[in-house]
Amino acid sequence: MSFMNALQRHNDTFSQLPALQSDVETLADQIAETLTAGGKILFMGNGGSAADSQHLAAEFVIRYKAERRALPALALTVDTSILTAHSNDYSFDTVFTRQIEALCQPRDLVIGLSTSGNSKNVIHAMEAAQAIGATCWAWTGASGGKLKSIADNILCAPSDETARIQEVHIFIGHWLCEEMDRLMSDW
């Protein structure tokens, strides 16, 4: 496929994002409320979504654009010793669950990225986080997959193409960072 074809698919997907505005603004408010109440943001995902989780956690902790206090966030995808030990001793299907059990508190907000919405490890971790009392958001593709009926809230990128879904996820993540710069400037 040509560059222009890929660009057109990207533009077609992004032209549908205004439909997500209300949900994204709700998420921004919930993140600000979570942080103000002493909670943290926990990100998780597989593959490219793991990289996006790490990227966004770094933007929260270090800074996005504005000089501001560090915002408590972490990616459950970064500790290779935990990831490999758990996957070896138990199952990759629950690799994030154990970390949720250890690190998640009721006042936290959990964001699970899964382009299909069917990642077993994200699903199990969401269920564990809900049992703790945390608020859970799933970021998926158009169908929402199984996470659509599990997560407290869902952002479905309007595409079935993995690359376009990930482009939407990182765009939303960057906007959330920008909004936290604004909302948390005096925090």
pLDDT tens-digit readout, 68-116: 899 999 999 999 999 999 999 999 999 999 999 999 999 999 999 999 9
- Residue 27 resides in a domain: no
- 124: CB partners within 8 A, 6+ apart: 93, 94, 96, 97
Contact 1, 8 (CB under 8 A): no
3-state DSSP helix/strand/coil % of the chain, to nearest 5: 60, 10, 30
The CA distance from 147 to 69, in Å, is 33
Q: What is the mean pLDDT of the chain?
A: 96
Spacing of C-alpha 131 from chain mean position: 19
pLDDT at residue 1 greater than cutoff 80: no
Q: Which domain holds residue 121?
A: 40-183
- Residue 4 resides in a domain: no
- Residue 150 resides in a domain: yes
CATH number for the domain harbouring residue 104: 3.40.50.10490
Contact 107, 128 (CB under 8 A): no
**Two structure tokens written together for 30:** 């919930």
**Two structure tokens written together for 19:** 């439909």
* Total domains, the chain: 1
As a whole number, mean pLDDT of residues 12-40 equals: 98
